[in-house]
Structure 1
């Protein structure tokens, strides 16, 4: 195989593996951020349930104000985390597109390498057949 083509194939394989690793990392980040968002949402539901649990019971105004302030901050944190999840999803999508591009490129290079191997093998087979034909002709022409 052509050494330049071999180097291209190695680089293409390396880039494809690297982009696959990056994609895995971005997907893991997305999953982590989604888990954080879920935790915040569950935490907010718990606090809202506690507040609703007071129902008709009297709750000191200061405590009610603290609950509402905390819930407002929690709502703000959830909105921020939703943005983080959105951005992490976009980054994972970009990483996936890059991996697909690298994978397609590697596949094309691999096909070219296979094609060149087949051509080289066919040329070698043809040469061997030609050599055998020449020997047979020489042996057939020279009876002694």
Structure 2
């Protein structure tokens, strides 16, 4: 078995690992997008709630109403802070995953270059042998004078 054929399982494994890394990268991108969307929802909700509270100044709130508003706003801010942490964690995982994909892609490309070099060398060797055989046949056909 020639070298290029022996390298095929290694190349397939590297390609599989690269595809797995690419899928994980895509998964983390989706997680980040989802978390960013949730953060936007929470921020929008907080802004809308604050705007509604300020526009309702025509109806005075009692102490309990103000306390409830502040408590609710505080909880919304805590949820936003927590979501920001989740976004940061997803970004970190996305970057780690991107690094793994780049590394896997580099290994795959390197292995593929080796396989291609082996194939070129094998084709060259086959061509050289065929040419030598052709030359030998031509020499045998020549009549001796």
Task: Tell me which interval the TM-score lies in, with the shorter structure as reference length.
Answer: over 0.9
Q: Which runs of 5 or more structure 2 residues have no equivalent in the other structure?
A: none
Runs (4+) off by over 4 Å: none
| TM-score (norm. length: structure 2) | 0.94
* Partner residue in 2 for 1:16: 18
Alignment of 1:42 onto 2:44? yes
Which among 71, 81, 93 is matched to residue 91 of structure 1? 93
Q: Partner of 2:142: helix, strand, or coil?
A: helix
| TM-score (norm. length: structure 1) | 0.94
Q: Deviations over 1:108-133 (max 9, x none)?
A: 01111110000000000000000000
How many angstroms apart in 1 are the aligned matches of 2:55 and 2:45? 15
How many angstroms apart in 2 are the aligned matches of 1:4 and 1:128? 23
Which among 95, 108, 111 is matched to residue 110 of structure 2? 108
Q: Which moved more, 1:31-40 or 1:50-59?
A: 50-59
Counterparts of 1:1-144 in structure 2 under 5 Å? 1-2=2-3, 3-141=5-143
How many angstroms apart in 1 are the aligned matches of 2:38 and 2:6? 48
Q: Deviations over 1:5-49 (max 9, x none)?
A: 111100000000000000000100000011110100000001100
Q: Which runs of 5 or more structure 1 residues have no equivalent in the other structure?
A: none
How many angstroms apart in 2 are the aligned matches of 1:141 and 1:100? 63
Q: Partner of 1:52: helix, strand, or coil?
A: helix
Q: How many residue pairs get matched? A: 143
